[in-house]
Amino acid sequence: MSMKGWFYAQMEGIVQALEQLGTDDFIFWYEATTPIATAPGLPTIDLTKKYGEDRVRYSGLDEMWYAGATLGAALVGSIAIDWHDMYMANPYPFEIVSQHAAKLHHMTGGQATIPAVWVIHISGQGPGLAGQHSDYEADSWYAHVPGVRTVIPSTVYDAKGLMITAVKSKDPFVYLNGSAFRALSDDIPDTPYEVPIGKAAVRTRGSDLTIVSSGQGMLAAMEGAQKLQGDGISVETIDLRCLNPMDTETLVKSAKKTGRVLTVDQSKYTLCPGAEVIARIAEFTDGVKFKRIAFPDAPPPGAPEMFNYMKPNGTHVYEAAKALLRK
């Protein structure tokens, strides 16, 4: 165990996954973030040094190019990562992921394998950047695409574990990387471990109410849960971690126990991940009461006054939970 930042955990995950696979046949394209990670007292991880410039390539501004190049590298058998840290360009890889990466294994009757990860950063965090640069919608877009696993860590532990899972998998992954977590550190194992896909994490156990969220929504969810616990309410907080496949079982079991489910999303309301959560629970169990909060169906405005009002926060969660408990 040692203290590691979000990025260090991810880079360590990549290196350890490749070590476990016993391969150096790895291609990594990046744009704004040089893949050099440091952590106090730990060796620096420098992907370029480790694997060479032919494998770890700074690729200018053209996200469409390296989204497609990632597919090509994977198709000929290399482990390929598209480190897509330009969130305003999130729709660019969409064609390649949805029409090719997600379909080729099936369309070729099982022949093509795509051991690739599109690490797609989502932001939506700070005010001031307005519509394009502070957006948070890509979670539902990618989660609606079958044939690709869409994961979204919210803890440093999961950031590493899901990266190892994604890199080691023969299947294509979309790994959604919330910019809010860049400053997060945590004490996590030094040895490699995987976070299983399709398994949600129960962050707090409780019996009065279930809160379900994912990605940056977890920040508000946890803040709200804490406030509620302060009021003596027993909250079960679930972090989806994996949007597709979604862990129906954990959701249904918790809902059956608490009878009340609040979903929290930083994504836009209509068809946010919480909609799928509610639909799954409602399909598979009866008598549960629901409430959903999310970013309104509007682009994020630049002015902090407006933006901060609209972005779901701990108080929103707290009040929605209270309302749901009164229901």
Partner 1 sequence: MSDTIEKTVEEVKAEGKGFISRRNFLKGLGVTGASVALFTTGTRLLATPEQEPVSKIPLERDIYWPERLTREQLIEMQRKMLQIRWYDRTVADKMLTEKGFRGYMHGSPGHEACAVGACFALNKDDWMAGYHRSHHHAIAKGANIRKMAAEIIFKASGTNNGYGGSMHIMQADVGMLGEDGVVGPGCCYGAGAGHALRARGKGQVALTFGGDAHATTPYFHISLNEAATHKIPWVYVIENNQYLDARGQHISECINVDDIAIMATAYNIPGVVVDGMDVLDVYNAVKAAVERARAGRGPTLIECKTYRYYDHFGVRGAEPGKLGSFGLGYRSDRELLSWLARDPIDKHRKTLVQTGMLTEREADALEEEVKAEIRDAFRWAEAQPVPRAEDGLRHVFVEEESVLPRMLADCPPWKTYA
Ligand X SMILES: Cc1ncc(C[n+]2csc(CCOP(=O)(O)OP(=O)(O)O)c2C)c(N)n1
Q: Could you tell which of partner 1, ligand X, a second copy, none binds residue 205, using a CB distance below 5 to 8 A set by kind?
A: none
Q: What is the smallest separation between the CB atom of 288 and partner 1, expressed in angstroms?
A: 12
| Per-residue binding letters, 88-127, with ligand X (x by CB under 6 A) | xx--------------------------------------
Q: Could you tell which of a second copy, ligand X, partner 1, none binds residue 310, using a CB distance below 5 to 8 A set by kind?
A: partner 1
Residue 91: how many other CB atoms lie within 10 Å:
13
Q: Could you tell which of ligand X, partner 1, a second copy, none binds residue 216, using a CB distance below 5 to 8 A set by kind?
A: none
Residues with Cβ within 8 Å of 9's Cβ and at least 6 positions away in sequence, in order, are: 156, 157, 159, 160, 163, 186, 188
Map the footprint of partner 1 across residues 125-164, applying CB under 8 A.
128-133, 146-147, 149
Residue 222 CA: distances (Å) to CA of 16, 41, 202, 250, 316? 30, 30, 11, 18, 12
Map the footprint of a second copy across residues 117-136, applying CB under 8 A.
130-132, 135
245: cis peptide before it, omega within 30°? yes
Amino acid at 236: E
For partner 1, the closer CB: 40 or 60: 60
For a second copy, the closer CB: 187 or 297: 297
Choosing from 105, 121, 133, 144, which is the catalytic residue? Answer: 133
Map the footprint of a second copy across residues 237-276, applying CB under 8 A.
243-246, 267-276
Q: Could you tell which of a second copy, partner 1, ligand X, none binds residue 143, using a CB distance below 5 to 8 A set by kind?
A: a second copy
Among positions 47, 79, 114, 145, the unique one binding a second copy when judged by CB under 8 A? 145
Identify the residue whose tokens are 């679930």: 238
* Residues at the interface with ligand X (CB under 6 A): 61, 63, 86, 88-89
Query: Which of the residues are catalytic?
Result: 133
* Residues at the interface with a second copy (CB under 8 A): 88-89, 91-92, 94-95, 98-99, 102-104, 106-107, 130-132, 135, 137, 140-141, 143-147, 243-246, 267-280, 282-283, 286-292, 296-299, 301-302, 327
